[in-house]
A = this chain, B = another copy of it.
């Protein structure tokens, strides 16, 4: 008797967890497809196969679902970006070209998670309309700029690149990424992935080479040093 009750509780809570996750996934799909406002709670419920009112046993509000979605990239950033390696050591040991290649690969690997792609699209299309998303994006941009500013600063210190304002370099390097992703997610994204993405990968690779060529220390000057 007791065993049976326990079993039921376990099964029930497992099903509940499962439903909560299905709601999460359905919300990502719908928000990324139609935008946060245009996707209704009714549609989310329909996709999960339950009635709208039942959503509220798992989440208190539509905003709370979005809140949980925005926590996902932060978790992912943690696992990808927060290695214990020292940036200065990495730059010195790899050199300019290889360090930049590694950084580019990291950003790409971060994007290849299918959730991340959809979540970025949600962020891009709701950047203005949602204060929650605006705050998240501002902080993300600010963190990225700081990281790259200090990276370029270290490169100058080790005479790997010309002494150009590292803040300017960071924004030259990152604005191309920003603009490319925005364009991709807003103008060309069709949910099928891979289609346009390869073209963007190609463009970003060329951009990286252009920047490297523009800032690397000239050979002659190096010799004369």
Contacts and interface: CB of A to CB of B under 8 A. Distances in A.
Contacts of A179: 175-176, 178-179, 182
Contacts of A210: 164, 168, 172, 214
Copies, count: 2
B186 A176 contact: no
Q: Give the most central of A35, A129, A134: most B CB within 10 Å.
A: A129
Interface string A193-210: 000000000010011001
Contacts of A168: 203, 206-207, 210
Interface stretch (A14-22, A84-92, A93-101, A120-128): A120-128
Interface of A: 35, 37-38, 124-125, 127-129, 134, 137-138, 141, 164-165, 168, 171-172, 175-176, 178-180, 182-183, 186-187, 203, 206-207, 210, 213-214
